[in-house]
Amino acid sequence: MNFSNKTILFIITACVGLVSLSCEHDTLDLSDFMSDGTPPNASIIEPADGESVQGIVNLKIWAKDNSGVDTVFFMVNQEIIGFDNVGSNDIYTYGWNTLEPGFIEDEFHFITFTAIDSAGNGYTGFPIRLKVDNTDDEPPTGHIINPITGQIVNGIVDIIVDATDNVGIQYIEYYINNNLIIYQTNAPYVYHWNSTLVQDDLIYSIYVIVVDINNNQTTIPPISVTVNNNLPADVIPPTGAITSPPSGITVNDTVEIQVTAIDDQQMSHVDFHIDGQYIYTDDSAPFSYQWDTTQEEEDVEHTIQVLLVDAGNNTSMLTPISVVVDNLPPDDTIPPTVIITEPAAGQIISGIISIEALVTDNNPIERTEFLIDGELEHADISEPYNYNWDSETAADDQDHTISVIGYDISGNAGPATPITVYVDNYDNIPPTGQILNPFAGQTVFDTVNVEVSATDNVGVDTVKFSIDGLLVFEDNSFPFLYEWDTTVETEDEDHVISVVISDAADNITYVPPISVFVNNEPADDTTPPIVVISNPLSGQTVSDTVDFTVLAQDNVGIELVEFFIDGSSVGTDDAEPYIYEWDTTDSEVGGHGPEYTLMARAVDLAGNETLAQPILVTVSN
């Protein structure tokens, strides 16, 4: 896996707590990490919590950040299984192969993630549970709903089976007295058994085997019926009951009225009545009626009555039941859910920006209001809910709060978590800088490079150089410097160098001026140079190749800097920066360690010299 430096720093920090980094070639700018302290916003959008999964599952994470999302790590059972550092439209995905060893079948596994932004801030989401189910070992279920055990049957008998499976039914086999009669592959599962073709006045056993598409099977327990096609005169009325809906409940929309009906010989039909009015006849089992309650009077009780009629025209009126019809839903008290998706919290914005919100509710949304600093700015009545805010109308260089409130048709209000953004439309930050060369109080002669360091949040436009208050040069490109011919200036006097830096927005900075002494005919120079070893540090442990670095200054100029290791001269340098590349693995340099004494000597143009304070370092290769 290839991660950015900031991502690696985040992982190390999260695991260890305190990290010390040292490297020769790659430099990490810690200011990059300190400027942004806001972690990303993120959540799991697919799959749903509690879902059963198989094969390769596409895990989807929505992640957004004010400085940009760098990487999203995907974890199963707290172990990283992969990452996405590209994403598309703030969606980061990874294909989890549930078939890999370690993901136990038929068990729940915890899925989570960590989103890391470009500044190294991390956010770990709440886990969800997913059940791995790559092998279908769940058998189907079912029962015989007609006929019922003990029933006397005749003529054509409908053997009706209700069968379900978590994946799908492959086929159903019908057995009578242990003999396979027929198999069916499609619902509804009904076999029309001609009982006149079998011996009369005998008991017959009926059972069914249900097989799903993965060959899991279930045997439905047998029922016993008596075949009697030579029936005597039927004088016994049928019996039964209203099985659904239960008496006393409140119903709405379309309700299925279900009835069980049995007869000693044969049923003819079932008549359904509502409030004493006949409405429907069903002449085949299972007996039911789809009752549209929206056509009935609202918020009152209604009586359901059922008349059973057998083949001998014997009738039975079942015990009626009462239900309350209520098609108007109760008052909606659930407010909408609102999430601000754009811009990100903490983002620096300018110009016209689109404020976007995701608004959901159990009922339709009436409107979505957008507020800036508590003041209503816009209302949107249709998806997508957004508002193009002209940030130039707000105070510049300040934080501003964006709020969004969604209203449903019942008047419930759902506010989003407000976010704060920083408006920066106008550049009113002045540039910064300083005079690098020469230094204040220095004695100069001949031609001197007046060097200036100048930076700006947007860009430096011009650097103006003045000598004794008179503009002498303008520079508008890096490096900013002026070649000053001191021979045209008054000799043996102090002269003031001043610099003005301006950016593209005309912000101006006056760099503190310095005074130097012009002496093109110098007297004898008796002032020795100033010299100090700046790298490595005394007491430091070093290895490989080290930049032995010396800082040297003089009132006139440096002739050379000489480098010593354990008292032996190892090299000289006559130009800044004064550096000797010390190969600590070279056994011919210095003593035999592991401790080495480093010293330097600076010689100015007049031959004055100064020895630097020696330092002691330890070599460990």
Supply the pLDDT for residue 592: 72
Determine the distance from the C-alpha atom of residue 527 to the mean position of all C-alpha atoms in its chain, rounded to a whole number.
66
As beta bridge partners, residue 531 has 552
Across 454-458, average pLDDT: 90
- Rounded CA separation 508/396 (Å): 19
Task: Please report the DSSP string for 458-483 in residue order.
Answer: S-EEEEEEEETTEEEEEE-SSSEEEE
Structure tokens at 437: 């060369």
Question: What three-state secondary structure class fits 136?
Answer: coil
Across 233-240, average pLDDT: 88
Supply the pLDDT for residue 27: 41
Across 135-157, average pLDDT: 89
239-325 maps to CATH 3.20.20.70 = no
Supply the pLDDT for residue 20: 35
Q: Is the pLDDT confidence value at 410 over 50? A: yes
What residues have CB less than 8 Å from 199, skipping those under 6 apart? 227
Mean pLDDT of the chain: 89
Class of domain 432-518: mainly beta
For the chain, what percent of residues have pLDDT higher than 90? 73
Supply the pLDDT for residue 22: 35
Per the document, the length of the chain is 621
Structure tokens at 488: 């045209």
Q: What is the 3-state composition of the chain as percent helix, strand, coil, each rounded to the nearest 5? A: 5, 55, 40
**Gap between the terminal Cα atoms of the chain:** 30
Q: Is the pLDDT confidence value at 2 over 70? A: no
Supply the pLDDT for residue 523: 66
> Biggest alpha carbon distance in the chain?
149
- Lowest-confidence region among 18-27, 452-461, 598-607: 18-27
Supply the pLDDT for residue 522: 63
Supply the pLDDT for residue 102: 86
Cβ-contact 566, 594 below 8 angstroms: no
Q: Could you tell me which residue, 10 or 431, shows the higher pLDDT? A: 431
Determine the distance from the C-alpha atom of residue 253 to the mean position of all C-alpha atoms in its chain, rounded to a whole number.
40
Across 91-106, average pLDDT: 92
List the CATH code of the domain at 5-132.
2.60.40.10
If pLDDT is split at 50, 70 and 90, which confidence band does 167 have? confident
As beta bridge partners, residue 618 has 541, 595
Supply the pLDDT for residue 26: 41
Q: What angle is formed at CA 115 by the lines to CA 113 and CA 120, rounded to 5 degrees?
A: 140
Question: What three-state secondary structure class fits 447?
Answer: strand
Cβ-contact 334, 361 below 8 angstroms: yes
Query: H-helix or E-strand containing 202?
Result: strand 202-212
* Per-residue pLDDT reduced to its tens digit, 510-546: 999 999 999 987 667 889 999 999 999 999 999 999 9
- Lowest-confidence region among 506-515, 579-588, 595-604: 579-588
Structure tokens at 269: 């039909």
Q: What residue spans in the chain does CATH classification 2.60.40.10 cover?
A: 5-132, 141-227, 239-325, 337-423, 432-518, 530-619
If pLDDT is split at 50, 70 and 90, which confidence band does 18 have? very low
CATH topology of domain 337-423: Immunoglobulin-like (2.60.40)
The strand pair at 79-84 and 91-97 is best described as unpaired
- Lowest-confidence region among 216-220, 427-431, 548-552: 427-431
Across 302-314, average pLDDT: 93
Q: Is the pLDDT confidence value at 237 over 70? A: yes
Across 41-58, average pLDDT: 90
* Per-residue pLDDT reduced to its tens digit, 602-612: 999 889 999 99
If pLDDT is split at 50, 70 and 90, which confidence band does 138 have? confident
Question: What three-state secondary structure class fits 13?
Answer: helix
The 8-class DSSP code of residue 594 comes to: S
141-227 maps to CATH 2.60.40.10 = yes
Supply the pLDDT for residue 402: 95
If pLDDT is split at 50, 70 and 90, which confidence band does 13 have? very low
Question: What three-state secondary structure class fits 15?
Answer: helix
* Per-residue pLDDT reduced to its tens digit, 327-381: 887 778 899 999 999 999 999 999 999 999 999 998 899 999 999 999 999 999 9
Cβ-contact 259, 287 below 8 angstroms: yes
- Rounded CA separation 60/48 (Å): 10
Distances (CA, A) of 412 to 44, 261, 278, 360, 501: 27, 49, 44, 12, 57
Cβ-contact 63, 87 below 8 angstroms: yes
Q: What angle is formed at CA 148 by the lines to CA 142 and CA 153, rounded to 5 degrees?
A: 130
Cβ-contact 291, 255 below 8 angstroms: yes
- Rounded CA separation 136/130 (Å): 16
Cβ-contact 228, 154 below 8 angstroms: yes
The 8-class DSSP code of residue 46 comes to: E
CATH topology of domain 530-619: Immunoglobulin-like (2.60.40)
For the chain, what percent of residues have pLDDT higher than 70? 94
